[in-house]
Every structure is written in C-alpha cells, then in structure tokens.
C-alpha cells in the first residue's frame, strides 16, 4: 500500500508540472515569436512481482525447494522527463511599424543527430557579452539610435556588430539588407541558424541561449538554409489555444483522478491503524 502512495503522488506531481507548462503557453498565446513548450511524461521501470513458495521434497533428511510464481508487473509511477520547445513557424501579424520584422522559414535541413528540423533566430547581444537569440522581432530604436529589442538588448548584424540608425525611416529587404532613407545600405540584419535545437536553452522573455554559451553560426553562411524577412510584420505565437485548453483539462482531470485514489489509500490506512490495529 505504501508503494501505491508513491505511485499516485508521482502521477500528481507530473500532472501538476504539465499544467504549469500548459498554463504558461496559454498566457503567452499573444506574445510575438513565443514558442510553445511541450512536455514528455514517462513511467519508471516496472517491477515484476513474484510469489515465493517452499516445496518440500520427500527425502531422508528433508529438502525444501524455493519456487517463484510470477504474480505480475507493478508500475512504480511516472515523471516529467523533459520540456522541449516547439519551433514551428507562427502566423504573421501586420503592424505597419518599420522597426518590426518577422522571420519567415524557408528550407531548414533536418539534423542527423537529433532528427529534428533546425531553427532560425535573430541575433542579440546579451549583457554578459555573449549572444542571445529570439524569434520576437518587435524591435525599436534607443536614445542613441541603436536597434534594440523590448528588453533593451542590442540587435546584431550579420557580422555580430550593433546596428545604429539615424531614424526609423529605413527599409529591410527579404535578404535582411537594411537601407536608410537615402538608399544607402547600413547593415545586414543578423540571423543565426541552430542545426540541433536540443543544444538550446530557453530563458525568460522569449530568449534562447546555447547550453555552453557559444555562438550559433550565421544563417547566411549555412549551405542549404533558405529564409526571408518581412518588415512591418511580427511573427505571432505558435501556441494552439484550443489544443492547449483541451490538454489542460485532461491534465486537470488526471490530477483529480490520482487525488481520489490517494484519498482512498488514506482511508484504507486509517482503518488499518484504528480498527484492525485494535484486534
């Protein structure tokens, strides 16, 4: 019965964490460039239960032989194995602002090691001096004319340098070339490519970092990668609100079911202590 307590509790914890992930996805359904989190729940290894019996052998000195009769497998619970981001393209939303840019995925090779499709990101300068990445192209100009994101992080060009503009009267081509109002090319908007998305670490505010802190290669230099940039547009979140709500209700019902089983175990233990224990 004590094993049942642990099994049911592990199920409740897993469903609670899944609920938190789905709730966070729902809260960011309208966040530009947000990539929904996906969770995977796995079970612990099953235990094979056997009944041990002693069979006497009619010999002169007597001999007992132990035999094991399989009873069946017992599950020891489940756990939330990992949380992975869904990097599929979100829908485009027109804003009319020259500082807003959306990344449009073209052909992205599939990584042989992970079996997943690669992903594209805008390049940002993190406060620690390394690079950070985002799909949120909601940029603006700071007081010094630097192109920054909503957190104030500098947007980098294809050479890893800050992008400085005189005003917001500039244009960005589908190839990422930034041209000022006089038709002079100022820079090329930095876009990086992650061949294996498993090496990315998701942080707050839609930022991604490499696990080891190194920089991703420029998407312009990766052979076979195609993409486009759309000015005056933003990429919306790829959260499927209706599906997330359905999964949220399913996780809540599973939590409730485990809770009722836990209450049943608790009442059984109460009877065993207060009633059977007296006998």
174 and 155 in a common domain: yes
**Which pLDDT score is estimated for 262?**
85
What are 86's two structure tokens?
């869904």
Question: Torsion angle of alpha carbons 118, 119, 124, 129, nearest 10°?
Answer: -30
278: confidence class by pLDDT, cuts 50, 70, 90: low
- Give the closest residue to 200 by CA, choosing from 74, 111, 103: 111
Residue 90 burial (CB < 10 Å; 0-12/13-18/19+)?
Answer: buried
Structural domain range at position 27: 2-82+240-278
**Which pLDDT score is estimated for 62?**
61
Task: Give dist(CA 124, CA 102) in Å, integer.
Answer: 15
- Give the closest residue to 84 by CA, choosing from 32, 136, 11, 35: 35
Task: Give dist(CA 236, CA 88) in Å, integer.
Answer: 11
106: confidence class by pLDDT, cuts 50, 70, 90: very high
120 and 29 in a common domain: no
279: confidence class by pLDDT, cuts 50, 70, 90: low
List of residues 6+ apart from 200 with CB closer than 8 A: 85, 119, 133, 194, 208, 209, 210, 211
Task: Give dist(CA 181, CA 202) in Å, integer.
Answer: 36
**Which pLDDT score is estimated for 270?**
78
Task: Give dist(CA 169, CA 55) in Å, integer.
Answer: 92
What values do phi and psi take at 57, rounded to 5? -110, 125
147 and 107 in a common domain: yes
What are 198's two structure tokens?
């498993």
Q: Is the pLDDT score of 68 beyond 60? A: yes
pLDDT tens for each residue of 156-198: 999 999 999 999 999 999 999 999 999 999 999 999 999 999 8
226 and 210 in a common domain: yes
140 and 203 in a common domain: yes
DSSP 106: -
Q: Is the pLDDT score of 42 beyond 90? A: no
pLDDT tens for each residue of 204-250: 888 999 887 789 999 999 999 999 999 999 999 999 999 999 999 99
67 or 140, greater pLDDT: 140
208 and 264 in a common domain: no
208 and 161 in a common domain: yes
146 and 185 in a common domain: yes
Number of domains in the chain: 2
Which whole-number Å values give the CA distances from 17 to 98, 137, 212, 231, 239, in the listed order? 40, 30, 26, 38, 18
Task: Give dist(CA 37, CA 39) in Å, integer.
Answer: 7
200 and 183 in a common domain: yes
107 and 19 in a common domain: no
Asked if residues 63 and 54 have their Cβ atoms less than 8 Å apart, the reply is no
205 and 161 in a common domain: yes
Q: What average pLDDT does the structure give for the chain?
A: 87
152 and 119 in a common domain: yes
Give the global pTM. 0.80
């Amino acid at each position: 019965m004590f094993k049942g307590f642990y099994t049911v509790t592990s199920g409740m914890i897993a469903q609670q964490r899944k609920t938190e992930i789905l709730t966070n996805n729902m809260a960011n359904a309208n966040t530009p460039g947000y990539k929904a989190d996906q969770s995977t729940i796995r079970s612990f290894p099953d235990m094979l239960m056997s009944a041990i019996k002693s069979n006497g052998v009619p010999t002169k000195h007597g001999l007992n032989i132990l035999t094991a009769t399989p009873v069946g497998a017992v599950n020891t619970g489940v756990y939330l194995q990992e949380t992975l981001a869904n990097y599929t393209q979100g829908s485009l939303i027109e804003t009319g602002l020259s500082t807003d840019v959306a990344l449009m995925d073209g052909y992205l090779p599939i990584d042989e090691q992970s079996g997943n499709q690669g992903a594209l990101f805008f390049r940002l300068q993190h406060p620690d001096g390394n690079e950070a990445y985002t799909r949120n192209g909601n940029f603006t100009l700071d007081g010094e004319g630097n192109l920054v994101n909503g957190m104030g992080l500098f947007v980098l060009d294809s050479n890893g340098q800050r992008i400085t503009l005189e005003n917001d009267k500039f244009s960005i081509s589908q190839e990422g070339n930034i041209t000022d109002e006089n038709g002079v090319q100022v820079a090329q908007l930095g876009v990086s490519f992650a061949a294996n998305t498993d090496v990315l670490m998701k942080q707050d505010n839609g930022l991604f970092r490499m696990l080891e802190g190194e920089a991703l290669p420029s998407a312009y230099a990766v052979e076979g990668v195609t993409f486009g940039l759309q000015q005056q547009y933003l990429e919306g979140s790829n959260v499927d609100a209706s599906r997330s709500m359905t999964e949220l209700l399913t996780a809540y019902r599973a939590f409730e079911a485990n809770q009722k089983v836990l209450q049943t175990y608790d009442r059984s233990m109460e009877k065993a202590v207060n009633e059977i224990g007296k006998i």
